[in-house]
Amino acid sequence: MAELTVAEKLKNMFELQLVDSQIDEIQILKGELPIEVSDLEDDIAGLETRISRLENTVKDLEDEVSKHQANITEANALIDRYEKQMDNVKNNREYDALSKEIEMQRLEIQLSNKKIKGTKEEVFKKEETLKATQDRLASKQADLKTKKVELEQIIEKTDKDEKKLRALSDKAREKVEDRLMRAYDKIRTSYRNGLAVVTVERDACGGCFNQIPPQMQLEIAQRKKIIACEHCGRILVDDSLVDEVRDKVDGVSSVTE
């Protein structure tokens, strides 16, 4: 195969850039939705775990209240029994002993009532937290449902176009020699907008917008050597390449128009 001219190399790289930029636009269209969906799923799993723990805590506290109530019932029964026994005491010693037992059971009732009050207050607080957490869960689940629908709609709308563009990108990459391909990929990953090959627009670099000297612009237009912006390192091409290349890649992605 004959060695490609510099002009052909620049044209091939610019064609690749236009295709990759359309792929980037699809990813921008999806935006943060995939991350948001994943984060919401994690949040929901955490909230469900918290709700389960709160429900178990409330149940344990209610069981504790039931135990204290059972203690009160038992203490009242003992008091009734001791009071009946007092009617048949034979001496002061037996009377005092029964009186002491009755007093102890009354203290036990007071203590149980105090514990019931404190535990019920704790149950109330936990139930409030549980309700707030359940409301938060419902809100997150609604958000997740909405985000999933949005993402599915975008994927459905862009999937066909993205596959076509990626096929075009793979085909375009085959036309670029390895050395230039490595430089292209390195520059693309260095900038958030993914631009590695840019045109000179209004006497400035189309990537960093720094001014390009007239002599350099002339050399770029001649396409006799590959010239990079001295400020950002992006490969520069003259804007007349746009019309030559764009027809090959335009019209593939309807969602980016």
Task: Give 35-81 pLDDT, tens digit per residue.
Answer: 899 999 999 999 999 999 999 999 999 999 999 999 999 999 999 99
Q: Which of 38-42, 61-65, 103-107, 247-251 has the lowest mean pLDDT?
A: 247-251
**CA–CA separation, 14 and 18 (whole Å):** 6
Burial of 128 (0-12, 13-18, 19+ CB in 10 A): exposed
Contact 27, 210 (CB under 8 A): no
CA distances, 24 to each of 5, 138, 166, 255 (Å): 28, 34, 11, 12
- HSE on the CB side for 49, CA within 13 Å? 6
CA 112 → CA 17, 102, 105, 173, distances in Å? 77, 15, 10, 80
pLDDT (0 to 100) of residue 248: 62
The amino acid sitting at 221 is A
Q: Are 54 and 125 in contact (CB under 8 A)?
A: no
Q: How do 235-237 and 197-201 pair as beta strands?
A: parallel
Residue-level pLDDT at 2: 63
pLDDT at 158 (0 to 100): 79
- Three-class SS string for 6-18? HHHHHHHHHHHHH
Residue 204 reports pLDDT greater than 80: yes
Sheet strand arrangement including 197-201: 204-205, 197-201, 235-237, 227-228
Whether 257 has a pLDDT exceeding 50, the answer reads no
Give the angle 100-102-105 at the CA atoms, nearest 5°: 110
pTM over 0.95: no
Say how far apart CA 74 and CA 79 lie, in whole Å: 9
pLDDT of residue 87: 87
Q: Compute the Cα dihedral for 19, 172, 230, 219 and give only its sign.
A: negative
pLDDT given at position 231: 92
Report pLDDT digits (tens) over 71-100. 999 999 999 999 999 888 889 999 999 999
Provide mean pLDDT across the span 97-106.
94
Structure tokens at 119: 């535990």
Rounded to whole angstroms, the Cα distance separating 151 from 147 reads 6
